[in-house]
A and B are shown apart, each in its own frame.
Chain A
């Protein structure tokens, strides 16, 4: 049995083999090997047609949101250990946020003002307490800190 070339089978599966489709159809009726290959190409065609490239700004915006989170985490780490920075954050949160490359939302400004003016003793507590405060701040941030299963 002479098999069609793989190019011919691929063209058939993609609907490109207008002139030779009858020949291939007849061959496939008696050749399970080629028929299976054509099925693979058809499935691949369906998968490729289904795929959608996201516009470039979708990835840019998503990365931007992640970067904001990262910078906020870094800043919060510093706030927990740097009393002077906390004082400055309380006095002028917009400036501190901008200096760390963080977009100042109203909720974030208010949260930082509160955090910055809090008693120093509040920041010498247990890790759980720190994380609770941290989490509360993050709740003000777009997207919140939801769990995976939410």
Chain B
């Protein structure tokens, strides 16, 4: 199944219990939910795995009720946020948390993650040299020196390539960049 299928087409197939459609949906959104758990709610990487699985199981149970009135990602984000909050309430059961909605700092982080999702997708559309250097620098958090050694290029070239590639990324992301 093509990974370029739009969400609406995937959802239609997912509703028919198409396992391949679910694979594409899960691949597309796992890091999104994982990042929400880790960065917006400070959940550990081990527990974030559970949050991802719980979120997709809730999605599976709730998908027949999805009306398509808003964006699918917004809907999925609400499911993920609910799972994160439920997880935190469960983890802090000795000291109950009242929160049922994200606090302002979490909300700000969620907005940054929305932008990250768009940029992450745009990175995939860059040419290979750019995709590699941007991924190494941002997602793998590798230093210039490590990137230079890995690619066999001078450190100065890493810096100039990164700058050039981020400019390309702005074009690739379009309105999602700002």
Contacts and interface: CB of A to CB of B under 8 A. Distances in A.
Interface of A: 6-8, 10-11, 14, 16-17, 40-41, 43-54, 58-59, 61-63, 65-67, 69-70, 73-74, 142-150
B17 A54 contact: no
Contacts, number: 149
Number of chain B interface residues as a range:
35 or more
Contact of B31 (A45, A49, A51, A149): A51
A63 B23 contact: yes
B19 A40 contact: no
Interface in B23-54: 23, 26-27, 30-31, 33-35, 38-39, 48-49, 52-54
Interface stretch (B4-12, B91-99, B109-117, B145-153): B109-117
B60 A58 contact: no
B57 A49 contact: no
A146 B38 CA distance: 23
Given A7-B163, A11-B159, A66-B22, A50 B30 contact: no
B162 interface: yes
B116 A48 contact: yes
B16 to A, nearest CB: 10
Contact of B62 (A46, A61, A70, A148): A148
B90 to A, nearest CB: 12
13 contacts: A7-B163, A10-B167, A10-B170, A11-B160, A40-B178, A51-B116, A52-B139, A54-B52, A58-B34, A66-B19, A70-B19, A148-B61, A148-B79
B85 to A, nearest CB: 11
Contacts of B57: 65-66, 69, 142-144, 146
Contact of A69 (B60, B78, B173): B60
